[in-house]
């Protein structure tokens, strides 16, 4: 049984003095430094920890700075008026400086074994080993043992500016390997999201998942079903909006993780080079380009793309089985696909509404007669729907490509030229209708005498 077993690994910490590492305070957020110094001056230990230390050592610029301390949450809150305590599973302090939030965590201790008496409000595991509650506090050594990957168990001290490397993180960075601290199966069972994090870090840092950490992932991937859907939403954003989405996607497929997140799409991706595979990859290529050029990206567009072909397939199935009209079948398909996806990943309503708009525009953009074309241009989601159409046209070609080219031209020309385009479209449609009406009847063959 995995439930309740403590994670304890013997670590040999190595202290790297300031002169032997490349972290400088000028590369650390001013607000993070404020938090570190106030904790230190109040008599508490104060360290930067985890990804920010790792990234600083690699010469990268961390987006977030996390602090670890021996001060407990209520003590942290007493030091900072701009502090709020959050979380049930992990009790954390958020110190808020405008738009920047410095996350402060108390050193974690070991979980009690099943034979020990423990307050169920502090620590609890599921039968599969998943940590359900985790408010057991301990020392910095115990906290390091509780970290997931060796490259994340490094602590930068504000007291003497040294880095304490508890698990060979420096060596892991040198070897470009993602390694787990402790037994991989136990660590993944404690928190299956670590499998997603392994893939994300490997892609982000241009590293490889060490065989002992990676070989077991396909077997344990189904454990992601035990993760709350609301938590997976944030994790998926980190996977695909990091600027390394395509590389991350390939790793998720390699280790059998993508299908756990998008079970309706995965069966369509079995044939390499299919339109579904091409579409997903092109969406991720475009998203990476936008992220890396500091352009705006929206989760709604990503989710709309990842679920588009399941919606089309379900719509066709409904038409064949129930005889529904194309529009009714499409509306019902949208509901069905979103409902199933929400069981796995809880997409907030502020994104499901734009997703629906993008999908519905794929049908409405083909209806261009009269005032409809002008009304489409005024639609708040026109640009997203048009960009989506361009992506589909680039993969599928044919009539979609003609339609996308028409909308591209219609946006760029002046009012008189737009009127001409619509007149030409109306005339062509009228001619087609007339041909259909005037189609001669097939002549009867003369009967033999």
What are the residue numbers of the active site? 64, 66, 148
> Which two tokens mark 66?
């996390």
Site of tokens 């958020």: 94
Enumerate residues 6+ apart whose C-beta is below 8 A from 172: 149, 150, 151, 178, 179
CB 356 within 8 A of CB 305: no
Angle between the N-to-C axes of helices 299-322 and 275-292, in degrees from 0 to 180, rounded to the nearest 10: 160
Name residues whose C-beta falls within 8 Å of residue 174's C-beta, 6 or more positions apart in sequence.
Answer: none
Are 129 and 190 a contacting pair, CB within 8 Å? Answer: yes
């Amino acid at each position: 049984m995995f439930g309740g077993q403590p994670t304890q690994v013997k670590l040999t910490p190595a202290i790297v003095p300031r002169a032997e590492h490349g972290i400088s305070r000028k590369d650390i957020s001013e607000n993070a430094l404020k938090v570190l110094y106030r904790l230190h001056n109040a008599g508490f230990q104060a360290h930067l920890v985890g990804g920010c230390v790792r990234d600083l050592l690699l010469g990268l610029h961390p987006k977030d700075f996390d602090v670890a301390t021996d001060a407990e949450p209520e003590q942290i809150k007493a030091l900072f008026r701009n502090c709020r305590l959050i979380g049930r599973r992990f009790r954390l302090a958020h110190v808020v400086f405008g738009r920047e939030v410095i996350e402060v965590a108390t050193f974690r201790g070991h979980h009690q074994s099943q034979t020990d008496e423990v307050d169920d409000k502090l620590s609890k595991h599921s039968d599969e080993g998943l940590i359900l509650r985790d408010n057991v506090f301990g020392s910095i050594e115990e906290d390091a043992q509780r970290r997931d990957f060796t490259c994340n168990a490094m602590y930068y001290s504000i007291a003497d500016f040294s880095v304490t490397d508890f698990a060979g993180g420096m060596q892991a960075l040198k070897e470009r390997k993602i390694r787990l601290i402790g037994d991989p199966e136990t660590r993944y069972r404690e928190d299956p999201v670590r499998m997603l994090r392994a893939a994300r870090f490997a892609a982000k840092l241009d590293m490889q998942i060490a065989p002992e950490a990676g070989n077991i992932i396909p077997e344990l991937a189904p454990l992601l079903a035990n993760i709350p859907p609301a938590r997976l939403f944030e994790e998926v954003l980190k996977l695909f909006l990091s600027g390394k989405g395509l590389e991350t996607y390939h790793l998720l497929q390699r280790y059998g993780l993508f299908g756990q997140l998008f079970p309706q799409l995965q069966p369509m991706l079995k044939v390499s080079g299919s339109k579904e595979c091409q579409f997903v990859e092109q969406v991720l290529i475009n998203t990476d380009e936008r992220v890396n050029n500091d352009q705006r990206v929206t989760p709604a567009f990503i989710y709309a793309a990842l679920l588009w072909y399941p919606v089309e397939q379900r719509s066709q199935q409904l038409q064949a089985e129930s005889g529904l009209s194309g529009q009714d079948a499409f509306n019902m398909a949208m509901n069905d696909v979103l409902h199933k996806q929400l069981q796995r990943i809880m997409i907030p309503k502020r994104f499901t509404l734009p997703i629906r708009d993008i999908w519905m525009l794929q049908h409405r953009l083909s209806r261009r007669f009269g005032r409809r074309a002008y009304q489409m241009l005024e639609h708040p989601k026109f640009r997203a729907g048009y960009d989506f159409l361009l992506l589909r046209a680039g993969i599928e070609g044919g009539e979609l490509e003609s339609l996308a080219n028409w909308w591209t031209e219609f946006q760029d020309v002046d009012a008189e030229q737009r009127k001409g385009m619509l007149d030409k479209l109306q005339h062509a449609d009228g001619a087609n209708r007339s041909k259909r009406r005037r189609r001669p009847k097939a002549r009867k063959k003369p009967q033999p005498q």
